[in-house]
Chain A
Amino acid sequence: NAGVTQTPKFRVLKTGQSMTLLCAQDMNHEYMYWYRQDPGMGLRLIHYSVGEGTTAKGEVPDGYNVSRLKKQNFLLGLESAAPSQTSVYFCASTGTANTEAFFGQGTRLTVV
């Protein structure tokens, strides 16, 4: 059982570059989430999706875009990376009952 898989695990970007983080889940979950985690800030919700083809803004959406073209995949895009986007990014998914979230192993992104 793979659960929730994030790629890549590590990445260094130069300011202004773009990239896409991929989250894939094999549990047939409806809900998927992208969070960023910075020291002392907990997990902050960037964007989320309640089903295929839907997306919604979370607490800190600026500078990010997302897409959910397939139920099992949730993509997070950075169009023009900034040093303030240096963080650890976590993807999570939950079923319809939405009681337990399963997390990927995280992506450590550094923007220089």
Chain B
Amino acid sequence: GQSLEQPSEVTAVEGAIVQINCTYQTSGFYGLSWYQQHDGGAPTFLSYNALDGLEETGRFSSFLSRSDSYGYLLLQELQMKDSASYFCAVRSQGGKLIFGQGTELSVKP
């Protein structure tokens, strides 16, 4: 089967850096992606890692270690608007796309 583990909630202050971790178990791993979801809205894509290493997109970075079945999302220079839920997702053989349970990020002034 497949499963993903991520913390249920994280709190940080404006301007800080926060890291959201994700560990996964899957067969036929193809890539790890991250999504953001604001209350009542649809999830939106943030980043994707197929190979080991760091991918940077503006204030957001994502890291993958396939040997450790582990990845993280790094958010820098936190803003109030970054308060949202963040999901990691694993793409596996056969086209399945499975999501973690989500991490609720609260950014405080």
Residues in B neighbouring A43, C-beta threshold 8 A: 43, 87, 89, 99, 102
CB pair A105 B94 closer than 8 Å = no
CB pair B100 A48 closer than 8 Å = no
CB pair B96 A48 closer than 8 Å = yes
Q: Report the Cα distance A59→B100, complex, angstroms.
A: 12
Range class of the B interface residue count: 20 to 34
Residues in A neighbouring B89, C-beta threshold 8 A: 43, 101
* Whole-angstrom distance between the Cβ of B104 and the nearest chain A Cβ: 9
CB pair B31 A99 closer than 8 Å = yes
Bitwise interface map of B from 23 to 38 toward A, beta carbon under 8 Å scored 1, else 0: 0000000110101000
Bitwise interface map of B from 79 to 109 toward A, beta carbon under 8 Å scored 1, else 0: 0000000010101001111111110000000
Residues in B neighbouring A56, C-beta threshold 8 A: 94-96
Q: Report the Cα distance A45→B94, complex, angstroms.
A: 14
Residues in B neighbouring A102, C-beta threshold 8 A: 45
Residues in A neighbouring B95, C-beta threshold 8 A: 31, 48, 50, 56, 98
CB pair B101 A41 closer than 8 Å = yes
* Whole-angstrom distance between the Cβ of A92 and the nearest chain B Cβ: 7
CB pair B45 A101 closer than 8 Å = yes
Given contacts A43-B87, A100-B48, contact A33 B97 (CB under 8 A): yes
Question: Given B31, B33, B45, B102, which contacts A42 in the complex, CB threshold below 8 Å?
Answer: B102
Question: Given A33, A58, A59, A100, which contacts B45 in the complex, CB threshold below 8 Å?
Answer: A100
Interface residues of B (CB under 8 A from A): 8, 30-31, 33, 35, 41-45, 48, 50, 87, 89, 91, 94-102
